[in-house]
Amino acid sequence: MRKGAALVAVLLAALAGGASGAPVPARDAKDSLGVARRQETTALGDLAGGRVPAALALLRASHAALAATLDTLGAAELPAATTADIRGRLVAAARAKNRAIAALTARSPNTRTAAAAVRVALAAEKRAAARLGDAPGEPAIAELPIPVTVFGAFDMALDPDGKSVWVSGPDGSRILLYRSLDAASPPTTFRLPPGSAPRGIAFGPDGALYVAESGTNIGGNAIGRLLPTGDVKQFFLPAGAGAPWGITVGPDGKIWFTEVSAGKVGRLDPATGALREFPLPTPNSQPQGIVLGADGALWGTEAGAGRVFRMTADGHATEYRIPTPNSVPVAIAPGRFGYLWVSELSGGKLLRVSRTGRMKEFPLPAGARPYGLVSAPDGNVWFADRGRNRIGLVTPAGRVFEFPLATPNAQPTAIVALGLGSFAFTEFAANQVGTLRFPG
């Protein structure tokens, strides 16, 4: 690890564990950087007046403010090059403060050396603050009513073209295709067989959209293959209430899905139509989300058992119990550095899982009921909060930002990243799709 990256990691670890010094009542990177600069300016005055202990306390406290700045920098939604430049200047400031602290804690404290180092830190932070001034501020949220009365917007998938968005509607047994999420652009509607109740959707290696049809008493319980032409092919599960829910592409190029009612994971070979099912170890586990992990295995959630499972391509499953009882894990998404992220609907938390099954929970505000989530290009994990009717994000050290929706009780459900500072989401109860975009 490079020295700069190591210093960033140390600062963020200090923030996550409760860094020493006064708390930082900051809302974002601009605020926390302002706190650090004020603390260091006051420390300079203390050094000039010979008040070494006071200066030392302020410099140590300013590390917490600088850690908060680094942690929330991604939420500023600046271009990657600008973010990297600001991060480099903040790392340089942290190094200078370390030199100042070392000069003051030596056997013979050197206030002149410490003051010079603090001035270096302030100069670097001044340049960083100037670049942070380009941050776009609050995002704009737009909500678009779906032109299908009975629909129930549930899952969302980004088209391979990187622009179009597909939405599943289990209540109406339909799939919508939005070529544009502008208000003046109506979607294309695709009808699935009655009772199919489509839930999870994902694109296969062949470019077709694969649909988990959870089904009703008049149909469904199948995996659908939908082409942009509207052609639909169904692959029915064996007799029994399987109720496919989540869906993804496995390491073998086949279609993998969860069966929420049967407690199984299924695999479809689209080329032959062959279906195979793999039971999970825990009875009544109610598996829902499923994704391909960075380790080449399938990872998923067990809403009824409070577990996360890992399944190899041969169907061998390992389960990991979530620390919070009755957490009801639902959605799962791959993240940076090989982590998996899970939403705990009843636990009101986001869960981070390593490749070896090690877990860390990030509490959300009281009343939160997170559902869909995505690890985004900005370095944060964004989520749809059904309980608080918001779209939110969690920073690497666990700080939470949330943005309210205008429609009451919309129940945002799925969320996808369209690009830096741009997201789309579904509103299940309000029967709408929405966008959250930062200006510029």
CB 205 within 8 A of CB 251: no
Q: E strands along 45-94, which residues?
A: none
Summary count for the chain: helices (H), strands (E): 5, 28
- Structure confidence at residue 84 (pLDDT): 87
Q: Using one digit for the tens of pLDDT, what is the confidence trace for 347-387?
A: 999 999 999 999 999 999 999 999 999 998 777 899 999 99
Instruction: Give the H/E segment covering residue 417.
Output: strand 412-419
The C-alpha atoms of residue 284 and residue 282 are separated, in whole angstroms, by 7
Query: How far from 146 is each of 68, 226, 354, CA to CA, in Å?
Result: 40, 20, 38
Q: Using one digit for the tens of pLDDT, what is the confidence trace for 135-157?
A: 666 789 999 999 998 899 999 99
- Structure confidence at residue 1 (pLDDT): 43
Q: Using one digit for the tens of pLDDT, what is the confidence trace for 282-332?
A: 999 999 999 999 999 999 999 999 999 999 999 999 999 999 999 999 999
CB 266 within 8 A of CB 259: yes
Q: Using one digit for the tens of pLDDT, what is the confidence trace for 67-84?
A: 888 877 776 677 778 888
Of the candidates 188, 234, 189, the one whose C-alpha atom is nearest the C-alpha of residue 215 is: 234
User: At a CB cut-off of 8 Å and minimum separation 6, what does 36 contact?
Assistant: 62, 65, 66, 69, 93, 125
User: Domains in the chain, start-ordered, CATH in brackets?
Assistant: 3-132 (1.20.120), 140-437 (2.130.10.10)
Residue 431 buriedness (CB in 10 A; 0-12 / 13-18 / 19+):
buried
pLDDT at residue 3 is higher than 60: no
Q: Using one digit for the tens of pLDDT, what is the confidence trace for 220-229?
A: 789 999 999 9
pLDDT at residue 17 is higher than 50: no
